[in-house]
Amino acid sequence: MDYDPNAVAEQEYKSWQRSADKYIKNIAPMTATSGQVPILCEIGLIDGNSHVLEIGCGTGDVCIQLSEIAMRVVGTDFAENMIHIATDRFPKLEFKVANAEDVPYDDNEFDVVVCNYTAHHFARPLVVFEEARRVLKPGGRLAIIMPIQSEQKCFGSFFASASEELPPEDVPGGTLLYVDDPAVVGLMVKESGFTNIVSEKRIKPIKLEHIDLLLKTGWSIFGLDDQPQDVQNRIRTKTIQRAEPYKQADGSYDFPDVVIVVSGTK
Ligand SMILES: C[S@@+](CC[C@H](N)C(=O)[O-])C[C@H]1O[C@@H](n2cnc3c(N)ncnc32)[C@H](O)[C@@H]1O
């Protein structure tokens, strides 16, 4: 199947618009509130003087944590529903609806651009990284964390199951979706003009109290309520089976997820 970036962007937009109201409870525990922020601060060199832009900020969960450390934090996302929720939750922060390919900020405005659990969703990641470079000050840092599908045991348990049951066009994701080598992302960041590239894998565990959280996450991102009941049943059963090895005696789950971590300097 030919890669159509506009179709990918449209599918991504639809997924995130429809899952925005479930994001805080169902999705943020995997993407935003399970230990990502210290990694972003470390690789982005974020401190009390930093002006930070998060591209693809969702409901603002990373932005609010960064705002306790940095001087200024701005969040952008192309899904209006995400930005409405972020603005309602954190009225003191600045959020804007914007495609990461074209953000409404000046050249050389930020010290750090953060891209958390989002790079694999971009339809044209090279364009996004070039745009990030434009708004960074000389010496500014791009800080990327993204999951590795093959080593993502938490959301990956659902993702692999849904991918087996749905047509490929219903599975959202950009060109980096199946990348498992950090050097591939690093090379793209280099190609977009950054230097001092560091690309590596890190273990970033995720604990879930109950498997329902994962199922609800998948159902809302993929809009599975609209699928035939037998397809939904198979995805549910397979997800539970894949997650089983990580189940603890108290019914919670400890997933040893591995992420790609990449940074570069303008
Ligand atoms: C998995 S969520 C991550 C949200 C947030 N960074 C976090 O860690 O919780 C991915 C987000 O990227 C946004 N997104 C995807 N492609 C985008 C693009 N081209 N421009 C702006 N936002 C985009 C989606 O709308 C969604 O909110």
> Would you give per-residue pLDDT tens digits along the chain (266 residues)?
678 899 889 988 998 898 898 888 888 888 899 899 999 999 999 999 999 999 999 999 999 999 999 999 999 999 999 999 999 999 999 999 999 999 999 999 999 999 999 999 999 999 999 999 999 999 999 999 999 988 888 888 998 999 999 987 777 778 998 899 999 999 999 999 999 999 999 998 889 889 998 898 889 888 899 899 999 999 999 999 999 999 999 999 999 889 999 999 99
Does any domain span residue 124? Answer: yes
Tokens representing 227? 């699928």
Q: Is the CB of 79 under 6 A from ligand 1?
A: yes
Return the best residue to mutate from 21, 78, 217 for the ligand 1 pocket (most ligand atoms within 8 A of CB): 78
d(CA 213, CA 208): 7
Return the best residue to mutate from 10, 81, 118, 120 for the ligand 1 pocket (most ligand atoms within 8 A of CB): 118
Tokens representing 108? 């050389």
Does any domain span residue 167? Answer: no
Q: Is the CB of 100 under 6 A from ligand 1?
A: yes
Total structural domains in the chain?
1
d(CA 236, CA 243): 11
CATH number of the domain within which 89 lies: 3.40.50.150
Q: What are phi and psi of 148, to 5 degrees?
A: -105, 115
Q: What is the CA(164)–ligand 1 centre distance, in A?
A: 24
Does any domain span residue 102? Answer: yes
> Which residue, 7, 19, 30, is CA-closest to 259?
30
Does any domain span residue 81? Answer: yes
Does any domain span residue 237? Answer: no
Does any domain span residue 123? Answer: yes
Q: Is the CB of 30 under 6 A from ligand 1?
A: no
> Which residue, 47, 68, 16, 40, is CA-closest to 217?
16
By CB neighbour count within 10 A (0-12 exposed, 13-18 middle, 19+ buried), where does 239 fall? buried
Give me the residues paired with residue 114 across strands: 54, 143
Tokens representing 73? 């934090």
d(CA 59, CA 63): 9
Question: 3-class SS at 135?
Answer: helix
Nearest-5° Cα angle at 20, 16 to 26: 105
Does any domain span residue 43? Answer: yes
Q: What is the CA(250)–ligand 1 centre distance, in A?
A: 33
Q: What is the CA(251)–ligand 1 centre distance, in A?
A: 30
Domain of 96 in residue numbering reads as: 5-148+173-207+256-265
Does any domain span residue 180? Answer: yes
Q: Is the CB of 60 under 6 A from ligand 1?
A: no
